C-alpha cells in the first residue's frame, strides 16, 4: 500500500486581524491561530512566509473579500494553489441554525462555541478560547473540507 502524502487546506478569515486554520486531507485540524497583522503590507509579508512554510498546500479558502482577499488570491496564483473565496453566509447556512444567524454578533459567538466543540471532538481541546476570527477560520475550513469530501460527514457541532 502506498503512503500518500496529505494535501493541506488553509482556511482564512480575512482581515488585518486574521484568523487561520490548517487542515489536512483527512479533515484533521493541525493548528489554528489569530494574528493582528497591523497593516496590509505586514499581512502581505506574513502571507508569503506562511504559504511558503506549508508543504503540499493545495487550497486557500478565504472568508471575506476586498484588498485582503486579493493578497491571498495573488499568493495562491503565484504558487499554483487553488483559491476559493467565500463569505460567512455560505458556511453559516450549512453549519448554523437559522436562529443563530440573525445577527453577526450572535453568529460570531456561536462560531466560537462550535469551534471549541470541533476542537474537543478532534482531540485538540483549545489551550485558550479561540477568538472569533480563528473560530470562523476553523468553521470555514470544516465547511470546505466537507465540500471536498475530506470530512465524510458534516460534523454536528450543536
Average pLDDT over residues 45-74: 96
pTM of the model: 0.92
Residue 1 in this model has a pLDDT that exceeds 50: no
Sign of the CA dihedral with 36 first, then 147, 79, and 28 last? positive
Q: How many residues does the chain have?
A: 158
What is the Cα gyration radius of the chain?
Answer: 15
In terms of Cβ atoms closer than 10 Å to its own Cβ (0-12, 13-18, 19+), residue 118 is: buried
Report pLDDT digits (tens) over 107-125: 989 999 999 999 988 887 6
Query: Which domains can be identified in the chain, with CATH numbers?
Result: 8-148 (3.30.420.10)
Average pLDDT over residues 52-72: 96
Residue 127 sits at the vertex; the CA angle it makes with 121 and 138, to the nearest 5 degrees, is 55
Amino acid at each position: 500500500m502506498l503512503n500518500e502524502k496529505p494535501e493541506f487546506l488553509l482556511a482564512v478569515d480575512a482581515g488585518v486581524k486574521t484568523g487561520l486554520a490548517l487542515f489536512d486531507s483527512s479533515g484533521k485540524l493541525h493548528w489554528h491561530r489569530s494574528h493582528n497583522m497591523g497593516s496590509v503590507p505586514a499581512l502581505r509579508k506574513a502571507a508569503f512566509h506562511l504559504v511558503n512554510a506549508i508543504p503540499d498546500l493545495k487550497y486557500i479558502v478565504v472568508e471575506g473579500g476586498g484588498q485582503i482577499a486579493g493578497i491571498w488570491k495573488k499568493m495562491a496564483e503565484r504558487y499554483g494553489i487553488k483559491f476559493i473565496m467565500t463569505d460567512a453566509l455560505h458556511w453559516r447556512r450549512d453549519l448554523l441554525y437559522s436562529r443563530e444567524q440573525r445577527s453577526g454578533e450572535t453568529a460570531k459567538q456561536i462560531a466560537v462555541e462550535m469551534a471549541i466543540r470541533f476542537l474537543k471532538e478532534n482531540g485538540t481541546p483549545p489551550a485558550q478560547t479561540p477568538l472569533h476570527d480563528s473560530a470562523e477560520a476553523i468553521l470555514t475550513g470544516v465547511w470546505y473540507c466537507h465540500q471536498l469530501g475530506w470530512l465524510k460527514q458534516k460534523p454536528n457541532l450543536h
